[in-house]
């Protein structure tokens, strides 16, 4: 069991984080906490995909030796950390930022209109306002 | 196979994308130019779709490589017969709703024209991008562009629209995150993101757990986005509280594009034999579709608000599309795709009618539609045509797609689904005919109300031409889709049926 957890450390971490986020999204009544949960949910996946590129003793993927000797550049693909997951997740982080922005601006408008961000109070106010 | 290369596919996406950013600047300079410019972008994007479709019909699939990087290294746009059909659909619907939206936005969101059309064009760019791209991660980015744009558009509505939009944000993000996780697993196993490349690398790996998990996350993520029952919770609120033009736009396009992505993933990225035999996801999908068809229709009958009724009916119609795809034979596939196209026209038309009624009378409750056929004859006529298509009366498009679906269910030997398709149509008859009855032959009013008028005293008060014309074009389109369904099937759908399904 312990070996499995250590062997799949990144998987276990992301699933725990994801479940924390999921709990906040579904279980909490405060809308801001729901947004925080949504963020944790997204970040856990981003963390997982970045972890796919991790490599023990890996180095940054920059071609060495092409400047000084004029010879053919040394490419040691096996040593490089795969840059693609990082690049992809950079985009995903930007997307997550935009989603958070939209969600928070919606919360601002909800608060201005109904004066509360607690779900149960909010539904009461909607019922009475219609 | 020698694949034709052209820059046209990318124009379909880039024109609305760039115009979306130019519009706020144009507003500072001259506000009157905003709407013509937005419309020009929609026309240009639709025009590019038509040109691409013509090219595909003569030369086969068209590709474009971003920055000249060939796949699997670079991002490619690839348009085949299936995506060309969806692009034509998107182009025509977004253009018609765009024309319609001018008047209704002036009334519902005065002074907000530029931001509205900016976000509108972003939604168009996101949706067309999802259809045109051949890269799994690129698809995620376009998925999020279109989702963010639709959250914004939904939140512009009145009443509790903001709360509906917030719920849509939360659930939509979960859907997109699951899709991303699925892509992550596939990338971890294959090291590739290009769809065609994945289709080549994946078959030897079908037994891998990571592939199974990735596939499951992809399907669940897309199912949330397409509001497949029981993941439809965001849909009724979002559709019924959004501004009229937005309801029509997102009801006709967003879930349809998600359905297209589902087809792309289960039949083209994965081989049909994986989706049918290795994990029987098609069987699962068809049962979920069948339940959606029945429960969505029953929920629709229970609604007294027209837009809410149409929203629940959308849940049911998504069921038809998924059932057709899940039947996993040529007839069912054809029926599913054909119904996707038909439903975009029908539901788009119905939501436009609902918007026009709200525009003129301010009513959304069905019981207030008494003698609407006298006040707004053309609007009522459009509603009737769309409703008949929803029920499946020939010669409208709805009849033929349901016919294909029934033939597909018979070919699969699934008589239960034949019964479900027929009974869901009867349920659709129940809720739609009720509205038509109030419009044409209302029952005598039980209690006296200030709105209570008889046909004789009503004056004609038709929707403005700019709103009426797109509605009528959609109504005619529905009949044309029915009359020319053979051409659509043989030109666009037949060449794209996966080989396995033909057996």
B217 Cβ under 8 Å from any chain A Cβ: no
**Pick from B155, B159, B170: which is nearest to A130 by CB?**
B159
Beta-ladder partners of B133: B77
pLDDT for residue B119: 94
* Sign of the CA dihedral running B352, B355, B360, B361: positive
**Pick from B140, B159, B169: which is nearest to A99 by CB?**
B169
Which residue range(s) make up the domain with A47?
Answer: 2-129
Name the average pLDDT for chain A.
85
Residues of chain A positioned with their CB less than 8 A from the CB of B180:
45, 49, 92
Task: Decide if pLDDT at A102 tops 80.
Answer: yes
Verify whether the Cβ–Cβ distance A106 to B180 is below 8 Å: no
CB B276 within 8 A of CB B500: yes
pLDDT for residue B248: 92
Task: Give me the number of domains chain A comprises.
Answer: 1
For B435-482, give the secondary structure using H, E and C: HHHHHHCCCCCCCCCCCCCCHHHCCCCCCCHHHHHHHHHHHHHHHHHH
| Average pLDDT for runs of 10 along chain B of length 503 | 74 93 90 90 94 89 86 88 93 94 84 89 95 93 94 87 91 94 92 90 88 92 90 88 91 93 92 84 91 92 90 92 90 92 93 90 82 85 91 88 92 91 92 88 64 60 86 92 90 86 76
**Pick from A49, A95, A130: which is nearest to B184 by CB?**
A49
Residues of chain B positioned with their CB less than 8 A from the CB of A41:
173-174, 177
pLDDT tens for A5-36 read 777 888 889 999 999 999 999 888 999 999 99
CA neighbor of B138 nearest in space, from B212, B68, B72? B72
Side-chain half-sphere of B312: how many Cα atoms within 13 Å? 20
Query: What is the interface size between A and B, counted as CB pairs within 8 Å?
Result: 70
B162 Cβ under 8 Å from any chain A Cβ: yes
d(CA B159, CA B358): 14
Verify whether the Cβ–Cβ distance A45 to B177 is below 8 Å: yes
B144 Cβ under 8 Å from any chain A Cβ: yes
* Sign of the CA dihedral running A4, A9, A11, A14: positive
d(CA B16, CA B116): 13
Residue B490: CB atoms within 10 Å: 10
pLDDT for residue A129: 75
pLDDT > 90: percent of chain A = 42
CA neighbor of B50 nearest in space, from B19, B79, B20? B79
Q: How close B454 comes to chain A (CA, Å)?
A: 29
Q: Is B454 left (phi over 0), alpha (psi -120 to 50) or beta?
A: beta
Verify whether the Cβ–Cβ distance A92 to B152 is below 8 Å: no
Verify whether the Cβ–Cβ distance A45 to B174 is below 8 Å: no
Verify whether the Cβ–Cβ distance B160 to A88 is below 8 Å: no
Q: How close A6 comes to chain B (CA, Å)?
A: 18
Helix axes B306-326, B244-263, angle to 10 degrees: 10
pLDDT for residue A115: 87
CATH number for the domain harbouring residue A14:
1.10.287.3510
pLDDT for residue B361: 84
Query: CA of B176: which chain A residue's CA is closest?
Result: A42
Verify whether the Cβ–Cβ distance A98 to B144 is below 8 Å: yes
Task: Look up the ipTM and state it.
Answer: 0.91
């Amino acid at each position: 069991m312990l070996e499995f957890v250590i062997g799949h450390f990144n998987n276990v971490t992301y699933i725990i984080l994801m479940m924390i986020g999921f709990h906040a999204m579904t279980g909490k009544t405060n809308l801001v906490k729901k947004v925080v949960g949504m963020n944790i949910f997204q970040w856990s996946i981003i963390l997982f995909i970045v972890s796919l590129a991790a490599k023990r003793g890996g180095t940054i993927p920059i071609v060495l030796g092409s400047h000084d000797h004029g010879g053919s550049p040394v490419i040691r693909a096996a040593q490089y950390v795969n840059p693609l997951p990082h690049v992809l997740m950079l985009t995903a982080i930007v997307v997550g930022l935009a989603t958070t922005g939209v969600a928070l601006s919606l919360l601002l408008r909800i608060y201005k209109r109904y004066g509360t961000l607690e779900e149960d109070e909010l539904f009461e106010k909607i019922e009475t306002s219609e | 196979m020698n694949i034709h290369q052209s820059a046209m596919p990318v124009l379909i996406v880039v024109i609305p994308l760039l115009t979306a950013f130019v519009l706020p600047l144009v507003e500072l300079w001259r506000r009157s130019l905003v709407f013509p410019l937005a419309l020009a972008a929609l026309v240009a994007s639709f025009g590019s779709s038509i040109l691409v479709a013509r090219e595909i019909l003569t030369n086969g699939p068209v590709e474009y490589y971003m920055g000249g990087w060939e796949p699997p290294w670079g991002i490619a746009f690839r348009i085949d017969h299936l995506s060309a059909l969806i692009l034509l659909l998107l182009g025509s619907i977004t253009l018609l709703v765009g024309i319609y939206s001018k008047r209704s936005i002036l009334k519902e969101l005065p002074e907000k024209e530029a931001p509205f059309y900016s976000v509108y064009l972003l939604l168009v760019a996101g949706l067309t991008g999802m259809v045109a791209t051949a890269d799994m991660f690129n698809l995620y980015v376009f998925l999020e562009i279109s989702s963010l744009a639709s959250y914004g558009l939904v939140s512009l509505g009145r009443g509790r629209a903001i709360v509906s939009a917030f719920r849509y944000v939360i659930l939509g993000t979960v859907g997109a995150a699951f899709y991303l996780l699925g892509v992550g697993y596939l990338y971890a196993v294959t090291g590739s993101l290009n769809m065609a490349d994945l289709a080549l690398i994946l078959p030897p790996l079908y037994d891998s757990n990571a592939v199974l998990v990735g596939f499951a996350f992809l399907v669940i993520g897309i199912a949330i986005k397409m509001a497949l029952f029981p993941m439809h919770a965001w849909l009724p609120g979002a559709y019924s509280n959004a501004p009229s033009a937005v309801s029509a736009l997102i009801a006709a396009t967003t879930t349809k594009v998600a359905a297209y992505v589902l087809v792309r993933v289960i039949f083209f990225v994965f081989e049909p034999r994986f989706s049918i035999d290795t994990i029987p996801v098609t069987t699962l999908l068809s049962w979920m579709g069948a339940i959606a068809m029945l429960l969505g229709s029953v929920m629709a009958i229970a609604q007294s608000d027209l837009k809410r009724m149409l929203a629940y009916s959308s849940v049911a119609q998504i069921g038809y599309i998924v059932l057709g795809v899940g039947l996993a034979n040529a007839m069912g596939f054809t029926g599913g795709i054909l119904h996707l196209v038909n439903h975009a026209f029908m539901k788009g038309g119905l939501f436009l009618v609902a918007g026009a009624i709200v525009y003129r009378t301010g009513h959304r409750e069905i019981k207030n539609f008494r003698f609407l056929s006298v006040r707004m004859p053309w609007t009522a006529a459009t509603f009737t045509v769309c409703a008949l298509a929803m029920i499946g009366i020939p010669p409208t498009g709805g009849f033929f797609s349901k016919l294909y679906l029934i033939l597909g269910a018979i070919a699969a030997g699934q008589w239960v689904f034949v019964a479900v398709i027929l009974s869901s149509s009867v349920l659709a008859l129940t809720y739609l005919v009720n509205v038509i009855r109030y419009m044409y032959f209302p029952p005598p009013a039980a209690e006296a109300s200030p709105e209570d008028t008889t046909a004789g005293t009503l004056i004609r008060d038709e929707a403005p031409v700019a709103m009426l014309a797109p509605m009528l074009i959609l109504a005619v389109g529905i009949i044309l889709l029915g009359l020319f369904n053979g051409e659509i099937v043989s030109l666009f759908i037949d060449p794209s049926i996966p080989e396995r399904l033909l057996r």
